[in-house]
């Protein structure tokens, strides 16, 4: 059964929460982070994207970047922008986006559960992204990025969380610049804390990584690297757990750098063997399973899978698998999307205009829009021990970094 523990969060002074809270480190590149932090020296991006405070000549994976993150974190504490909770607590985190609300429980989950598959995975990770977080956690001593976990909805847990929300005032409540509202309550009553832990231990047999495979894997590898000197904090990692009936998955789209030596005309001809290909007058948002959009040479196309391009098993039926097997691998020679530099991934929150922009810029040759994976598909794949192709799911809204941080050396 799932082990969820309270913890002593490092968190902002209430009046500074909106300034400090930042978008997750992995949804912004360095240049975007610099723009985001202009005029705001209190942004948590100075810790999660600390290369913004170093010369551009410094590689973003250089040890100087991680040392700067540690320096900036210590400075935030010294300036009393952040403080450590006096006792172990749970936290309730509600997000509202476009009128749709979802509420999760923040605690720390067991690294042992991760390694023993009580925390289930549905994706492999990319080695260079893992190593980046390993270096960041080891050097800073902090898990600054939240792992987004899902569990099958449970009426008792839902009722307990809603009761606490109704009875207590939030410690943080603000609307960020992207119009997403973030509200956090502290659960510091010992009876309530014990009741939450017991409910999960008795009623939730497993949890599922929805977003944050790299952060979870890195936490486990950091503990292993520390070895016998590891403090208790390293045995757990920062997680927010959401019931499955509140989650929203968006599309996660693909870009390929080149056409593997094919001309655009030849590529289209090859596609017609596996797909019905029809030019479109505007960007294509797939309307259902086995339908794709493609942007090539200034034109959008609608692709519809022909029989034989997919199977009925949990992995083979996914559109990310259909695209990977029949196009990216077979036609473009991108056999390992985890490591191949000729592929990139664009979350649906950026819109299809981002795909057009990047292809029109000349760095990428073709883009594909996909129909989103469902939460039931995710659970089915994880339960059977299978994995999706990387970057198959994009969850929105995103949790903000900096509101709740877990320290591993204490």
pLDDT of residue 159 exceeding 80, the answer is: yes
As for how many domains the chain has, the answer is 2
264 lies in the same domain as 331 = yes
- Tell whether pTM > 0.75: yes
What angle do the packed helices 127-140 and 213-226 form, to 10 degrees?
60
Mean pLDDT of 260-267: 97
Q: For residue range 27-69, what is the model confidence (pLDDT) as tens digits? A: 899 999 999 999 999 999 999 999 999 999 999 999 999 999 9
238 lies in the same domain as 99 = yes
Confidence of residue 97 (pLDDT cuts 50, 70, 90): very high
311 lies in the same domain as 273 = yes
For residue 277, the model assigns a pLDDT of 98
77 lies in the same domain as 124 = yes
Burial class, 19, CB count within 10 angstroms (exposed 0-12 / middle 13-18 / buried 19+): middle
How many C-beta neighbours within 10 Å does residue 91 have? Answer: 23
Q: For residue range 330-369, what is the model confidence (pLDDT) as tens digits? A: 999 999 998 899 999 999 888 999 999 999 999 999 999 9
62 lies in the same domain as 92 = yes
The CA distance from 184 to 15, in Å, is 13
Q: What angle do CA 195, 201, 203 make, to 5 degrees?
A: 90
For residue 371, the model assigns a pLDDT of 95
For residue 306, the model assigns a pLDDT of 96
| Whole-number percent of the chain with pLDDT over 90 | 84
For the chain, helix, strand, coil in percent to 5 are 35, 25, 35
> Closest Cα to residue 367, out of 250, 251, 252, 256?
256
pLDDT of residue 229 exceeding 80, the answer is: no
Mean pLDDT of 301-324: 93
86 lies in the same domain as 170 = yes
Confidence of residue 319 (pLDDT cuts 50, 70, 90): very high
- Structural domain contains residue 220: yes
329 lies in the same domain as 187 = no
Q: How far is CA 285 from CA 138, 282, 357, in A?
A: 41, 9, 16
Look-up of token digits 């929203």: 248
135 lies in the same domain as 238 = yes
For residue 72, the model assigns a pLDDT of 98
- Structural domain contains residue 376: no
For residue 363, the model assigns a pLDDT of 95
- Structural domain contains residue 389: no
Q: Which domain holds residue 346?
A: 252-371
């Amino acid at each position: 059964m799932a082990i969820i523990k309270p913890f002593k969060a490092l968190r902002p002074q209430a009046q500074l929460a909106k300034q400090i809270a930042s978008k997750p480190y992995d949804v912004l590149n360095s240049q975007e982070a610099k723009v985001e932090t202009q005029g705001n020296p209190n942004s948590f991006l100075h810790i999660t994207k600390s290369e913004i405070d170093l010369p551009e000549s410094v590689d973003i994976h250089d040890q100087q970047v991680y040392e700067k993150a540690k320096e900036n974190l210590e400075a935030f504490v010294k300036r009393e922008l952040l403080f450590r909770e006096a006792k172990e607590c749970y936290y309730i985190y509600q997000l509202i986006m476009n009128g749709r609300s979802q509420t999760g429980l923040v605690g720390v989950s067991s690294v042992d559960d991760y390694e023993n598959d009580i925390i289930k995975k549905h994706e492999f990770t990319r080695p260079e992204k893992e190593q980046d977080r390993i270096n960041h956690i080891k050097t800073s001593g902090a898990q600054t990025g939240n792992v987004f976990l899902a569990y099958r909805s449970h009426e008792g847990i839902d009722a307990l969380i809603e009761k606490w929300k109704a009875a207590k005032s939030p410690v943080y409540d603000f609307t960020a610049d992207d119009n997403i509202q973030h509200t956090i309550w502290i659960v510091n009553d010992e009876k309530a804390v014990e009741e939450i832990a017991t409910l999960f231990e008795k009623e939730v047999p497993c949890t599922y990584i929805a977003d944050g495979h790299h952060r979870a894997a890195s936490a486990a590898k950091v503990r292993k690297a520390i070895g016998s000197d590891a403090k208790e904090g390293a045995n757990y990692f920062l997680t927010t757990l959401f019931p499955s009936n509140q989650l929203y998955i968006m599309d996660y789209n693909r870009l390929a750098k080149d056409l593997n030596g094919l001309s655009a005309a030849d590529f289209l001809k090859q596609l017609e063997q596996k797909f019905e290909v029809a030019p479109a007058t505007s960007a294509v948002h797939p309307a259902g399973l086995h339908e794709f959009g493609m942007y090539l040479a200034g034109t959008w196309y609608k692709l519809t899978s022909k029989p034989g391009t997919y199977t009925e098993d949990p992995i083979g039926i996914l559109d990310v698998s259909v695209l990977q097997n029949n196009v990216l691998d077979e036609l473009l020679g991108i056999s390992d999307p985890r490591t191949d530099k000729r592929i990139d991934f664009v979350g649906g929150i950026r819109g299809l205009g981002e795909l057009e922009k990047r292809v029109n810029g000349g760095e990428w040759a073709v883009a594909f829009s996909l129909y989103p994976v469902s939460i039931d598909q995710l659970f089915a794949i994880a339960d059977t021990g299978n994995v999706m192709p990387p970057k198959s799911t994009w969850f929105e809204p995103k949790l903000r970094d900096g509101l709740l941080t877990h320290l591993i050396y204490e």
